[in-house]
């Protein structure tokens, strides 16, 4: 199945592990095989992973784009989610959904699920800050 991608000027995308930066003009192209693809808005840099949930997102992003090191990334993921659930037990439902996606090797859907977890984390942190 083909995927049409339209990039804005200077927008970045990761395709199959390669970071591609668009030039000065809007461009359109079609990816005709199945490879990991992440648009700039979905790419997290390591220095942006500063909370448990963002670290979980980052490690799943690595699983998605760097399949050669899956064992290491899975080990990191399970350590992070264990610490998260022990600290904030109300996250267990989110973690279960994410883990189901990972067990199916559906890393893109796992990333989408982690975005919901990150939003929940923001809500919890905001609540804690305002309750103090």
Query: Which ranges of the chain does DSSP label H, i.e. alpha helix?
Result: 52-65, 70-87, 92-103, 107-131
Mean pLDDT of the chain: 94
Helix (H, G, I), strand (E, B) or coil at 10: coil
Q: Determine how many CB atoms are found less than 10 A away from the CB of residue 67.
A: 13
Question: Which pair of tokens denotes residue 47?
Answer: 């220095």
pLDDT in tens, 49-80: 999 999 999 999 999 999 899 999 999 999 99
- What's the distance, CA 130 to chain centroid? 28
**Residue 37 predicted with pLDDT over 80:** yes
Cα dist. 75→43, 56, 69, 71 in Å? 21, 11, 10, 6
Reported pTM: 0.90
pLDDT in tens, 107-130: 999 999 999 999 999 998 888 888
| pLDDT grade for 132, boundaries at 50, 70 and 90 | low
What pLDDT sits at residue 86?
96
Cα(3)–Cα(31) distance, rounded to whole angstroms?
A: 5
Could you tell me the maximum CA-CA distance found in the chain, to the nearest angstrom? 53
Cα angle for residues 117, 37, 69 (degrees, 5° grid) = 75
pLDDT in tens, 5-23: 999 999 999 998 899 999 9
Greater pLDDT, 130 or 89: 89
């Amino acid at each position: 199945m083909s995927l049409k991608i339209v990039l804005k000027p200077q927008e970045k995308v990761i395709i199959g592990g390669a970071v591609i930066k668009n030039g000065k003009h809007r461009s359109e192209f079609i990816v005709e095989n199945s490879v990991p693809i992440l648009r700039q808005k979905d790419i997290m840099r390591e220095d942006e992973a500063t909370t448990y949930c963002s670290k979980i997102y980052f490690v799943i992003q690595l699983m998605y784009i760097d399949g050669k090191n899956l064992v290491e990334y899975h080990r990191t993921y399970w350590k992070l989610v264990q610490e998260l659930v022990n600290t904030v037990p109300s996250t267990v439902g989110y973690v279960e959904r994410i883990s189901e996606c990972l067990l199916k090797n559906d890393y893109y859907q796992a990333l989408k699920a982690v975005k919901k977890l990150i939003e929940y984390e923001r809500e919890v942190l905001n609540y804690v800050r305002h309750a103090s």
